[in-house]
Chains A and B, each alone.
Chain A
Amino acid sequence: MRYLTDRKRAAGMGSAKTGTAHFWAMKVSSAALLVLVPIFVFTFGPMLGEPHSEVTAYFARPFPALVAALTVVVSFTHFKDGVQVLIEDYIHGTMQKVLIVAMICLSYVAAATGVFAIARLAL
């Protein structure tokens, strides 16, 4: 029996205080993706296997370009948050932190690359 008060025993053992922010961010991005993903599937899909000139002309139009750019950005935002939970559940210690940072950075790189590519196609 240690001389600890119940308050002292519980202190620091609770939430990380950021859970709702992460939860809410995933709700917002999933709601956005519910709208974006079907539009993206039906604007991006038909371009697979089309000639290069057709593809560049298509993504020079505002709607397909905006849908593609938004889908890339919001998808990787959503992925960054989702994969963090996956890593937190199965991997612990330093490797957990390293992997979370690595996956977030990968998400940033992929989103930036996608936006850059779409901007170059569109402009």
Chain B
Amino acid sequence: MADVNRGNRPLSPHLSIYRPQLTSMTSILTRITGNALLISALLVVWWLLAASTSAEYFALADSALTSIFGKLVMLLSLWGLWYHSLAGLRHLIWDNGIGLGIQTAEKLGWAVIVGSFVLTILTVAIV
């Protein structure tokens, strides 16, 4: 290994000069949904704790989660959950070295986006 110049070389990824791509957008959305689901998970745990505590406390937690704002949060959570699940499934496929070609990866990206909305609508219709 020679003494190479490590100082002034451009660093990857050059996020500021890239045109947004479906692959990069679906990737960052996976991270955003996954981490934002913390809020949803904490709300669910709070709801369960309230249910196990008393009828009064449950009424408070349940009305919070089923208020207009609560319903909006739950709907967004549901979409985030389906999106993250499908994107995670895509990662499990990719981990086997399958579907990494750009065309296939973009098709899978659309499948994740469309699938997340379809599953969200189906869930709302059923539940």
B51–A59 contact, CB under 8 A?
yes
Count of B interface residues, CB-CB < 8 Å: 34
Q: A31-B92, A34-B88 are in contact. Are A45 and B123 (CB under 8 A)?
A: yes
Total inter-chain residue pairs, C-beta < 8 Å: 93
Find chain B residues with CB under 8 A from A114 CB.
44-45, 48-49
The contact string, 1 if C-beta is below 8 Å from chain B, for chain A 38-65, is 1001101110111011011001000000
Count of A interface residues, CB-CB < 8 Å: 41
Tell whether A75 is near chain B: CB-to-CB under 8 Å: yes
Tell whether B22 is near chain A: CB-to-CB under 8 Å: no
Partner of A52, one of B37, B55, B95: B55
A10–B78 contact, CB under 8 A?
no
Least CB distance from B93 to A in Å reads 12
Question: Residue of B at shortest CB range from A107?
Answer: B38
Tell whether B107 is near chain A: CB-to-CB under 8 Å: no
A83–B38 contact, CB under 8 A?
yes
The contact string, 1 if C-beta is below 8 Å from chain B, for chain A 57-78, is 0010000000010001001100
B92–A68 contact, CB under 8 A?
no
Q: Which of B1, B35, B88 has the most CB of A within 10 A?
A: B88
Complex alpha-carbon distance, A79 and B36, angstroms: 10
A86–B31 contact, CB under 8 A?
yes
Tell whether A92 is near chain B: CB-to-CB under 8 Å: no
Complex alpha-carbon distance, A120 and B97, angstroms: 45
Complex interface residues of chain A between 20 and 42 (CB less than 8 A to chain B):
27, 30-31, 33-34, 37-38, 41-42
Partner of B95, one of A27, A41, A118: A27
A75–B41 contact, CB under 8 A?
yes
A45–B127 contact, CB under 8 A?
yes
A117–B91 contact, CB under 8 A?
no
Q: A33-B85, A82-B35, A121-B48 are in contact. Are A76 and B41 (CB under 8 A)?
A: yes
Partner of B44, one of A10, A42, A44: A44
Contact surface of A with B, Cβ cutoff 8 Å: 1-2, 6, 9-10, 27, 30-31, 33-34, 37-38, 41-42, 44-46, 48-50, 52-53, 55-56, 59, 68, 72, 75-76, 79, 82-83, 86, 110, 113-114, 116-118, 120-121
In the complex, besides A34-B92, A86-B31, 4 extra interface pairs with C-beta distance below 8 angstroms are A30-B92, A56-B52, A68-B48, A110-B45
